[in-house]
Amino acid sequence: MKDLRVSVIQWDLKWENPKSNRYEIEKILSSQSVETDIVVLPEMFSTGFSMNASEICEAPGGKTEEWMKSTALKLNCAVAGSIATKIDDRVLNRFLFVTPSDTFHYDKRHLFRMANEHKTYEAGTERVIVKWRGWRIKLEICYDLRFPVFSRNVGDYDLLLNVANWPAKRSFHWKSLLPARAIENQACVVGVNRIGKDGNGYMFTGNSLAITAFGETILDMGSQEGYGQAIFSYEELIKYRKKFPSYKDADSFTLHL
């Protein structure tokens, strides 16, 4: 199985301005010449974490999803990140994983009640794992990170992707929970966050991280704006699981969504 090249982009999201945010991503990507398998963007990367759902939402197949598709085709990779998506009379915080040939989605399960997200968006009901270039990838959004049962690896994923708007005042939690999820699940983890100040005045310090299944940080973007890439070895992942098979002693449970 081949190694997986995962690229992350963190920048100061332009508040409720999809066109400007797509432009910023394109500008950052155009400065790079390296090949990649996945480009990962923050939660609600086109607008910021806004509760103005009716104004910022897009229908499936809208401009931002079309842009993700064209970027995936251009770079021959997957493009991943969440946007506000309207389905009939419902709005969801939807994680899109777009490849040159397919579009997968996960709707955020744990809605951040401290910002009234649970009153604005509808919660998802499914745990989603996608297969891409031989890797099994679990999709999560921000607040999901705090719920280890939901993240539990039951032998069904190799990489956990979490896209977030995680504020600076709780950055210690972010930097603690990401490696915890990697270690306890013996899976690689990538968490992508934004920087700057949002439309509500909250500050974000980024700290987008890539962590091996052993818990080693192989990419830390700090608070810098721009592009970073981590390369995960599938051979090393399998070798570690075989050498230290703690998953065989895990407690059984049933997850009710």
* Catalytic member of 16, 43, 58, 65: 43
Q: What is the mean pLDDT of residues 105-119?
A: 98
Give the mean model confidence (pLDDT) for residues 230-240.
98
Is 78 within the bounds of a domain? yes
In a domain, 249, yes or no: no
Set 16, 65, 69, 142: catalytic member: 142
Average pLDDT across the chain, whole number:
97
Distance separating alpha carbons of residues 44 and 65, to the nearest angstrom? 12
Q: Please return the burial class of 185, using the count of CB atoms within 10 Å of its CB with bins 0-12, 13-18 and 19+.
A: buried
Question: Which among 147, 75, 81 is positioned nearest to 110, based on CA atoms?
Answer: 147
The reply to whether 252 falls in a domain is no
- The rounded distance, in Å, linking the Cα atoms of 133 and 38 is 10
In this structure, the number of other CB atoms found within 10 A of the CB of residue 71 comes to 19
Question: Is 142 a known active-site residue?
Answer: yes
pLDDT at 255 (0 to 100): 81
Higher pLDDT, 221 or 255: 221
Q: Which of 108, 117, 138, 188 is catalytic?
A: 108
Instruction: Taking residues 189-203, report their average pLDDT.
Output: 98
Residue 252 pLDDT? 87
Quick check: 213 pLDDT over 80?
Answer: yes
Task: List the CATH number of the domain containing 185.
Answer: 3.60.110.10
**CB-based contacts of 221, cutoff 8 Å, min separation 6:** 8, 10, 206, 207, 208, 209, 228
Q: Which one-letter amino acid corresponds to residue 83?
A: I
Per-residue pLDDT for 1 more than 80?
no
Give domain status of residue 217, yes or no.
Answer: yes
Q: What is the per-residue pLDDT for 253?
A: 82
Q: The whole model's pTM is what?
A: 0.97
Mean pLDDT in residue range 5-23: 98
Tell me, yes or no, if 184 is annotated catalytic: no
Is residue 63 a part of any domain in this protein? yes
Q: Is the pLDDT of residue 143 over 90?
A: yes
Query: Does any domain span residue 150?
Result: yes
- Name the band, by pLDDT with cuts 50, 70 and 90, for residue 131: very high
Residue 108 is a catalytic residue = yes
Measured in residues, the chain has a length of 257
Q: What is the average pLDDT across 116-124?
A: 97
* 256 belongs to a structural domain: no
Is the pLDDT at 185 greater than 90? The verdict is yes
Domain that holds residue 196: 4-244
Q: What is the mean pLDDT of residues 65-76?
A: 98
Q: Which residues does 165 contact at the CB level (< 8 Å), separation at least 6?
A: 13, 42, 43, 44, 48, 49, 142, 193, 194, 198, 204
- The total of structural domains in the chain comes to 1
What would the mean pLDDT of 57-80 be, rounded to a whole number? 98
> For 116, how many CA atoms within 13 A lie in the half-sphere containing its CB?
6
